Each structure stands twice: as structure tokens, then as C-alpha cells.
Amino acid sequence: MDSSEITTVDVCLNCGSTSVENFCANCGQKAQPTKLPFRAFLKDAAETLFNIDNRVFRSLRDLFRYPGKLTREYVEGHRATYLPPLRIYISISVIYFLLAQVIDSHKILFVNFTLDDESEINLAKIIQTALFFLVPVLAGILKLLHRKRKAYYVEYLIFSMHIHSIWFVLFTFQLLVNYAGELLISETIPWLSTAMITFSEMFQILAMIYLVVSIRKVYQQKWIVVLLKSFAALFLYLLSLGVTTFLALLFF
């Protein structure tokens, strides 16, 4: 049986709907017969993988190269060509937190913790965990700072997920550079180690710049207003992180 012998499907084999062209209008299943030649099966699998890869690369490309664009595109309804914000955030954050656990990092967000005793190690782990749950907090802060805009909270939540996603990518690079610098200390190359650890601080600067440019892109305000709101958002965010950490230490 070759592809020329494949019959068309008039009724969806999944839900029974008759509104079927290339895909079922009711459940979304592709219109295909139950029996497929191997060549058609491979072609369908390749197309599926290619489309998924396209969404991944397009989402990551626009997230990195065009701060704020992904949020605007998603809010305006251009969603089919991008990965959902939650999927992006979960995937990137899992990589970041796993890496932080594996290399036992003491560099958390904008704070540097030493590993001299067990209490400081625990504090670093608590902050790492708190970061994961601060996405809705940043969304609330942004909504507060833009309370004159007629927008639902979910719009700010999407923006917060995109911001945290890029932050975790930058902090992942920072963890790797710091770790490489610490390894070079043991290899008696102190000058290169110092240079790498200093270079790693650039990722935190990039994180702040990304926040500022994203707010400018998404909310279309004057630069002076954007700068003030960005620093206010960052201050309130770090304050929330501090309160969360204190409560965790107090009760747990």
C-alpha cells in the first residue's frame, strides 16, 4: 500500500465529528486513516518533530533577541508559533535548579553566599526554592506599578514567566562560569580564575538590562518612567524574596 492508495477521512476517528478537513474542528486530531504505509508514518513523524523544533527555536530566539516581544505576541493572540509561557518557564527553571544543586552553588540571584557553614548552605537552598514561587509575586508588583492600565493579572503573569525564564538562563551561564573559575583556583591559575568570576557578574547586569528593555517594549512608556518602575519592581521583588526567606527560616 503506497501513499496514492490512502483514502480520505470524512469522519473523525477520535470523536466522531463530521467537521473534518485536514484536522478535526472538534478535537484537533489529524485526518488520517487507521492504516498508514511506513513511508507516510515516517513523513508524519518528521513533520511533527520539525514543527515542535521550530516552536522551540523560535520561542528561544525571540525571548533572547527581542526582550518583551514574546509577551506582546502572546497577549495579542499570536500563540500558535510559540511555546506556552509556563512550558518555557518550567523547562528552563528545572535546568537551572538542577545545575545549582549539582555544583552546590552559593551564587543565588544577586546575592553571594559563602559555604563556610551548614546554615549558610541551607539559606542558599531556601532562596533557590523561594525563587521558583516568586513568579506570581513579580506579576503582582508589575500590575501594581501599572495599575492605570486596563489589563488582567494574567498578562503580568505571562510577562513574569518570560522574565524569570531569561533570568534563569543568564544565571545558569553565571553558575557555569563561576564553577569554572573556582576549578581554576585549584589548578593554580589565580588570575584567570579571578577574571572569570568577575566576568560572571556581567550576567546579573544583563538580567537587569533585560528587565528594563522588556518593560519598555511591553508597556510602551517613556524611558525615565521605565527606569523608575524597573528599579521599583526589582526593589520590591528582592524585598519579597527577603521576607519569604525570613519566614522560611522562622517556621521551617
Q: Concatenated DSSP letters for 213-237? A: HHHHHHH---HHHHHHHHHHHHHHH
- Within 8 A by CB and 6+ apart from 61, the residues are none
- Whether the per-residue pLDDT at 144 is higher than 60: the answer is yes
The C-alpha cell that represents 54 in the structure block:
521550530
> What is the reported pLDDT for 100?
75
Model pLDDT, residue 2 = 41
Average pLDDT rounded to a whole number, residues 20-47: 65
pLDDT for res 235: 92
Q: How confident is the model at residue 228 (pLDDT cuts 50, 70, 90)?
A: very high
Q: Which residue has the higher pLDDT, 34 or 192?
A: 192
Contact indicator for 237, 251 with CB cutoff of 8 Å: no
* Chain mean pLDDT for the chain: 77
Kindly report the pTM of this predicted structure: 0.73
- Looking at residue 232, its pLDDT comes to 95
**Predicted local confidence at residue 22, as pLDDT:** 67
Q: Comparing 128 with 242, which gets the higher pLDDT?
A: 242
Please check the confidence at residue 95 and state whether its pLDDT lies above 80: yes
At residue 222, does pLDDT exceed 90? Answer: yes
Q: How many CB atoms lie within 10 A of CB 16?
A: 11
Which tens digit of pLDDT belongs to each residue from 104-132?
Answer: 655 555 555 554 555 555 666 677 677 77
- In this structure, of 18-27, 87-96, 163-172, 203-212, the range with the lowest mean pLDDT score is 18-27
pLDDT for 218 equals 92
Tell me the angle at which helices 223-251 and 202-219 cross, rounded to the nearest 10 degrees: 120
Cβ neighbours for 73, distance < 8 A, ≥ 6 positions apart? 62, 79, 82
Mean pLDDT on 67-92? 86
Residue 160 pLDDT class (50, 70, 90 cuts) = very high
Q: Where does the pLDDT of residue 56 fall: very low under 50, low under 70, confident under 90, or very high at 90 and above?
A: confident
**Which amino acid does the sequence have at 160?**
S
